[in-house]
């Protein structure tokens, strides 16, 4: 009987402990944020400022879906535990945020808590945490006064119980999310660099894609002071979001400030063209940046040094492969497949056509530590973003049905080791793994 009593006691203690943990989460989420906030009247100027900030924050990319009213949600986002769907953030009082006070809005934006529970960090409150009170008020004014209300129901997540319980997210937020603090530039920071830092670290949430994550899914760094992982590049959605640090192979070291600003505004520059999720960022967000903000962001990125910069010198073009191809020597593995499928656009010399078909020689993506982007682009194809600064759109077809896994591996290795490029090789097995991952998308 004693062992039964012991088991019963352990069970009761466990249940009580779980209830305490859940209750603590419940109380904490309902008291998160600042209870009383007051903002200025929603003047046309404030609403216009909020509209601009909403573009900088790329809110439409996640909260707007084709065929539905703007900001009415419904975008499917896959997580390791199941799919979630973005919510309606129009001012509809039933399904949107029409009942939100300024404090409620701030609580969701910077603290990651809405309607009494912690949000999934797919909502980048882990970057928005530094938004200033003035800009929070402007965003609130825009979403309450500048966005039409839409009666669109929110779709529940596909995460199964018990993984769908929200209370563990409270503890994740406490452990890993930055403390919400309005942005304060470093005392010695140049004013323009500080202006760029506010965008890149905050509403621009560049780190959410370009910074690697720990096994517990938090960003390894949220600002440069957190270490060299910040903006050092990360795999996301079967692409490698490249390093945005300054210096070394696969970084922005050989980009000028003007080229970077041009890329943010148009999605194309002499150094590269946007692909993957970055195309959506350009289309929905950064193309609308003022020239001053784009230059400020570029100057800030150029201020972030790279610890590995000294390990590799500047790119030096090597004509040996081009000379061999020109002389009819396609004996290098992947050379013939490159000539048959790639050279018409990217040229046998790997120099491409500026702002149309990117150069591969010295290309940071082609030389990145992880070849997954080159593999995915070959398998999936790509198209240039259509923006006001680059209204013509150019497309690269998918080669998934034309090239075998070994063919793709050979082409990738050819690109990553020609014209002066020096990057690690890949295998047919790596290609097969990427092909399997992207097959549901085409």
The residues with which 353 forms a beta bridge, in sequence order, are 357
Question: In whole angstroms, what is the distance from residue 299 CA to residue 288 CA?
Answer: 18
* Per-position b or e across 105-125, b if 16+ CB within 10 A of its CB: bbbbbbbbbbeebbbbbebbb
pTM score, whole prediction? 0.89
Tokens 């999934």 locate to 120
Determine how many CB atoms are found less than 10 A away from the CB of residue 225.
8
Q: Transcribe 311-359 into DSSP letters.
A: GS-------HHHHHHHTT---STTHHHHHHHTHHHH-TTS--BTTTB--
- Cα torsion 338, 343, 349, 352: sign: negative
Name the CATH code of domain 320-441 (choices 3.40.1830.10, 1.10.10.10, 3.40.630.30, 1.10.760.10): 1.10.760.10
Q: Where are the domains of the chain?
A: 28-176, 191-311, 320-441
Position 34 scores a pLDDT of 81
Question: In a structure prediction context, what are the per-residue pLDDT tens digits for the chain, which is 442 residues long?
Answer: 666 666 666 667 677 777 887 888 878 788 888 877 888 889 999 999 999 999 999 999 999 999 999 999 999 998 878 899 999 999 999 999 999 999 999 999 999 999 999 999 999 999 999 999 999 999 999 999 999 999 999 999 998 888 888 889 999 999 999 999 999 887 767 899 999 999 999 999 999 999 999 999 899 999 999 999 999 999 988 999 999 999 888 888 889 999 999 999 999 888 889 998 899 999 999 999 999 999 999 999 999 987 765 566 678 999 999 999 999 999 999 999 999 999 999 999 999 998 889 999 999 899 998 999 999 999 999 988 888 877 878 899 999 999 999 999 999 999 999 999 999 999 999 999 999 988 644 3
Which residues make Cβ contacts (< 8 Å) with residue 145, sequence separation at least 6?
Answer: 42, 47, 91
Question: In whole angstroms, what is the distance from residue 167 CA to residue 387 CA?
Answer: 42
Determine how many CB atoms are found less than 10 A away from the CB of residue 53.
19
Distances (CA, A) of 171 to 26, 27, 29, 30: 11, 12, 10, 14
Question: In whole angstroms, what is the distance from residue 344 CA to residue 357 CA?
Answer: 10
Encoding tokens for residue 259? Answer: 């080229």
Determine contact, residues 57/125, Cβ cutoff 8 Å: no
117-118 and 113-114: which strand pairing?
A: antiparallel
Question: In whole angstroms, what is the distance from residue 213 CA to residue 228 CA?
Answer: 13
Encoding tokens for residue 20? Answer: 């305490």
Question: In whole angstroms, what is the distance from residue 142 CA to residue 89 CA?
Answer: 11
What H or E segment, with its residue span, contains residue 383?
strand 382-383
Q: Transcribe 20-55 into DSSP letters.
A: HHHHHHHHHHHT-S-S--------HHHHHHHHHHHH
Q: Transcribe 239-284 into DSSP letters.
A: EEE---SBSSTTSSTT--HHHHHHHHHHSEETTEE--THHHHHHHH
Question: In whole angstroms, what is the distance from residue 229 CA to residue 162 CA?
Answer: 33
In angstroms, how far apart are the furthest CA atoms of the chain? Answer: 90
């Amino acid at each position: 009987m004693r062992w039964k009593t012991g088991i019963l006691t352990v069970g009761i203690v466990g249940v009580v402990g779980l209830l305490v943990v859940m209750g603590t989460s419940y109380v904490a989420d309902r008291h998160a944020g600042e209870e009383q906030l007051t903002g200025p009247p929603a003047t046309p100027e404030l609403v216009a400022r909020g509209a601009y900030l909403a573009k900088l924050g790329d809110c439409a990319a996640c909260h707007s879906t084709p065929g539905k009213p703007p900001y009415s949600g419904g975008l499917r986002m896959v997580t390791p535990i199941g799919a979630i769907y973005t919510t309606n953030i129009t001012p509809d009082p039933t399904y949107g945020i029409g009942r939100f006070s300024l404090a409620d809005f701030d609580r969701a934006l910077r603290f990651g808590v809405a309607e009494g529970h912690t949000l999934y960090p797919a909502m980048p409150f882990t970057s928005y945490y530094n938004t200033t009170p003035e800009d929070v008020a402007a965003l609130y004014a825009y979403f309450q006064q500048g966005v039409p209300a839409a009666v669109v129901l929110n779709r529940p997540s596909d995460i199964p119980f018990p993984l769908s319980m929200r209370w563990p997210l409270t503890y994740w937020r406490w452990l890993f999310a930055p403390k919400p603090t309005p942005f304060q530039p470093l005392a010695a920071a140049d004013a323009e660099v500080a202006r760029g830092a506010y965008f890149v670290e905050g509403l621009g949430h560049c780190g959410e894609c370009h910074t690697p994550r720990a096994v517990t899914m938090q960003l390894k760094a949220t600002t440069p002071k957190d270490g060299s992982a910040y903006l050092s590049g990360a795999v996301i959605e079967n692409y490698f979001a490249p390093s945005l640090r300054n210096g070394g192979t696969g970084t922005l070291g050989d980009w000028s400030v003007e080229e970077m600003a041009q890329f943010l505004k148009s999605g194309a520059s002499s150094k590269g063209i946007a692909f993957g999720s970055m195309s959506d960022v350009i289309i929905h967000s950064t193309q609308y940046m003022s020239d001053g903000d784009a230059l400020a962001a570029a100057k800030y990125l150029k201020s972030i040094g790279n610890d590995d910069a000294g390990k590799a010198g500047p790119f030096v073009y090597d004509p040996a492969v081009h000379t061999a191809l020109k002389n009819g020597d396609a004996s290098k593995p992947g050379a013939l497949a490159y000539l048959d499928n790639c050279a018409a656009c990217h040229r046998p010399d790997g120099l491409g056509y500026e702002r149309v078909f990117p150069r591969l020689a010295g290309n940071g993506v082609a030389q990145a530590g992880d070849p997954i982007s080159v593999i995915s682009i070959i398998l999936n194809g790509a198209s240039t973003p259509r923006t006001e600064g680059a209204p013509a759109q150019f497309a690269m077809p998918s080669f998934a049905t034309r090239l075998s896994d070994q063919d793709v591996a050979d082409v990738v290795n050819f690109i990553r080791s020609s014209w002066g490029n020096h990057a690690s090789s890949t295998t047919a097995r790596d290609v097969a793994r990427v092909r399997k991952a992207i097959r549901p998308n085409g």
